[in-house]
Structure 1
Amino acid sequence: MVRRTAALMGVILVTSRSFSDGHLDLVQRAAQAGHRILRGPAHHDLEDLRSLLHGADAWIAGTGAVTDAHFAAAPKLKVVARYGVGTESVDLGAARDRGIPVTNTPGANADAVADHAIGLMLAALRFIPDGDRRVRTGDWGVRRGRELGAATVGIVGFGRIGQGVAARLSGFGPRVLAADPFLPDDVVRARGAEPVSLDDLFRTADVVTLHAPGGQQLVDADRLPGMRPGTVLVNTARGDLIDEAAVAQALRDGTLAGYAADTLDGDTAAHHSPLLAPDLADRVIVTPHLGAQTTQAVDNMGALSLADVIAILAGGDPAHPVPVPLAEENR
């Protein structure tokens, strides 16, 4: 039997906090394939990562930015595997120019995030966190909520997570609308929703849940006045999908009855967000980016990202490549 030496082992830099934190021992799985896991900070600060990137053959990246400067600091890098679905934090053009394939983990956390979206809807409609806080101060006064089954729910973005939300809503019985420019109407209907335009969805829904990619602003001061008074807005996607100051004002003037989110714009750097103002605490629910944090999702994301890394380091093709933009001169 030929023994692998340390010199032959690939170094896989991992900057996702939860990698191999579920039931699967992915560190051991990497070792069995002849590779070593090297941990790095999730914030992706280049100065903190520079020495780690220099020796990395592969990078399983969290949600932090992956820029051309990161690539320049990693002369041996053969692949970036996004631990999750979204790739807006990765400079795909720079990866293309340097010949570095990018992969992601489509569907790995869809069930977990869909579950969380439903949980946030119920929490906002029934004032669950506020009720818990008040009971702990001795206040047993009742705030009357609304039933999910009596609402019209609008799903913005009808990919795997949006469709998972629709499937779960079927047990509650609301009217379900969906806006997605990339899906034919018959597909939307077959998967449990009425296809509508984005504007019609925002005008009609009592509950709006966002499942669109980041890098765009869908809820702002222009759109909010056209929404139904008392709408509940749920965001388990990206913080930059909303104008936080405009949403805070809409909560104060009654346009929105509640905002429930798993993210803020800037996440942990957003502790000064206008949505965290004390006077909005009874109408705003924010969880710390835990929508995908289930044991099952962590195992799925880790296993898929590691499998693609191992395949590429062995000279094969990944199962989940991310399409990269064409070079400008080839368009």
Structure 2
Amino acid sequence: MTAFRVLVPQAVDEAGIAALTDAGLDVVQPPNADIETVRRVVRDCDAVLLRTVVLDAAVLAGAPRLKVIARHGVGVDNIDLAYCAARGIVVTNAPESNTVAVAEHTLALLLAVAKNLRAADRAVRAGEFAARHHLGGIELAGRTLGVIGLGRIGRLVAQRAEAGLGMRVRGHDPAATGPDVVGLPELLAASDVVSLHVPLTTGTAGFFGAAEFAALKPGAYLVNCSRGGVVDETALRTALDRGQLAGAALDVFATEPLPAAHPLASDPRVLLTPHMAAHTGESLARMAVDAANEIIAVSRGEQPRWPVPLPGRS
């Protein structure tokens, strides 16, 4: 009987690899994750434990044995879901694995941008201690945080901002209800800080653009730890220049890695981190193990715990 082979094109926590091998699966870890290597190796594999490699229809068409793609994390925008639906390839993710890590990173960015910590750190290192007299930030207690996207991460950010920072919270999500869930125009007009927690889909690509920035309370802040593609970065820069935004903190970008010549890369009003919100040791271990367990379930003919809904399938 042919062994159930799992392609792991990028490094994951050893706990995930151990789970696969302990279950008797054959793990394939190529020396690099360039697309030609992935295309060559995946043709003989039954599963992929996937991080950021893009699996489009052209790559998937060359993988006749493929039965399951288990995403190491939450977002599945690097997978051609329509093709998977047509082929009957199961797609899973790990929605509980990085909730705490991303929520904590969001709050860290929120505090850092509100307190002007990037500029303050740079000033101290440059011997400009007197910068303390003009680098004061704002207090967050009593201010309004608008959370767009009320999934696991958005809800946790809202809870901790309210309980830990004393912020008023308003949320927007077409799938959510409650006394603090409001329409997008109301949220934008009321928020001192907006935090984005939405997946990147055809419906959300570039959705936060010029009109949304114009609707913000003047001097607001934006934090984005979801996907870079949901924000129109040109409109963001314009909002900063016009004073509509006082600052922004971004962990994600439309193009990653962020090009060195990108206007946001040199803008002192923007705090940048390299798509690392989920990258705590604890979260990386959970993502690897959760993804591995989904593959193991499929290999045994069982239903995975977190199947991703595919186009045209209930």
Shorter-chain TM-score range: over 0.9
Question: Which segments of structure 1 move beyond 4 Å, counting only runs of 4 or more?
Answer: none
Inter-partner Cα distance in structure 2 for 1:37 and 1:195? 45
Pairing partner for 1:261 from 240, 250, 265:
250
Which residue of structure 2 aligns with residue 219 of structure 1?
Answer: 208
Q: Deviations over 1:24-59 (max 9, x none)?
A: x322221111123222588x6532311111121110
Which residue of structure 2 aligns with residue 299 of structure 1?
Answer: 285
How far the C-alpha of 1:222 sits from its partner, in A, is 2.0
Inter-partner Cα distance in structure 1 for 2:128 and 2:27? 51
Pairing partner for 1:131 from 117, 120, 124:
120
Inter-partner Cα distance in structure 2 for 1:41 and 1:154? 43
Q: Deviations over 1:126-148 (max 9, x none)?
A: 01121111111111112111112
Structure 1: segments with no counterpart, 5+ residues: 1-6
Tell me, yes or no, if the aligned pair for 2:218 and 2:243 is still in contact at 8 Å: yes
**Aligned AA (2:167):** P
Which residue of structure 2 aligns with residue 26 of structure 1?
Answer: 16
CA separation of 1:148 and 1:269: change in aligned 2, threshold 3 A: closer
1:13 matches 2:7: yes
DSSP-derived class of the 2:237 partner: helix
**Greater shift in the superposed pair: 211-220 or 166-175:** 211-220
DSSP-derived class of the 1:267 partner: coil
CA separation of 1:213 and 1:137: change in aligned 2, threshold 3 A: same
DSSP-derived class of the 1:203 partner: helix
1:183 matches 2:176: yes
1:116 matches 2:105: yes
Q: Deviations over 1:38-96 (max 9, x none)?
A: 22588x65323111111211101113322111211112111111111112222111111
Which residue of structure 2 aligns with residue 3 of structure 1?
Answer: none
How far the C-alpha of 1:159 sits from its partner, in A, is 0.7
**Aligned AA (1:32):** D
Tell me, yes or no, if the aligned pair for 2:17 and 2:292 is still in contact at 8 Å: no
CA separation of 1:297 and 1:183: change in aligned 2, threshold 3 A: same
Tell me, yes or no, if the aligned pair for 2:16 and 2:289 is still in contact at 8 Å: yes
Q: Aligned-residue CA RMSD in angstroms?
A: 1.9
Tell me, yes or no, if the aligned pair for 2:103 and 2:156 is still in contact at 8 Å: yes
Which residue of structure 2 aligns with residue 173 of structure 1?
Answer: 166
Q: Deviations over 1:261-311 (max 9, x none)?
A: 1111111154433211x3x22x11110111000111111111111001011
Tell me, yes or no, if the aligned pair for 1:231 and 1:257 is still in contact at 8 Å: yes
Q: Deviations over 1:100-158 (max 9, x none)?
A: 11111112101100000000000000011211111111111121111121321100001
Inter-partner Cα distance in structure 2 for 1:156 and 1:34? 42
1:205 matches 2:225: no
DSSP-derived class of the 1:132 partner: helix
Which residue of structure 2 aligns with residue 246 of structure 1?
Answer: 235
TM-score (norm 2): 0.92
DSSP-derived class of the 2:240 partner: helix
Tell me, yes or no, if the aligned pair for 1:264 and 1:273 is still in contact at 8 Å: no
Alignment of 1:74-85 (within 5 A): 74-85=63-74
Alignment of 1:81-92 (within 5 A): 81-92=70-81
Inter-partner Cα distance in structure 1 for 2:271 and 2:31? 27
DSSP-derived class of the 1:164 partner: helix
CA separation of 1:198 and 1:64: change in aligned 2, threshold 3 A: farther
TM-score (norm 1): 0.88
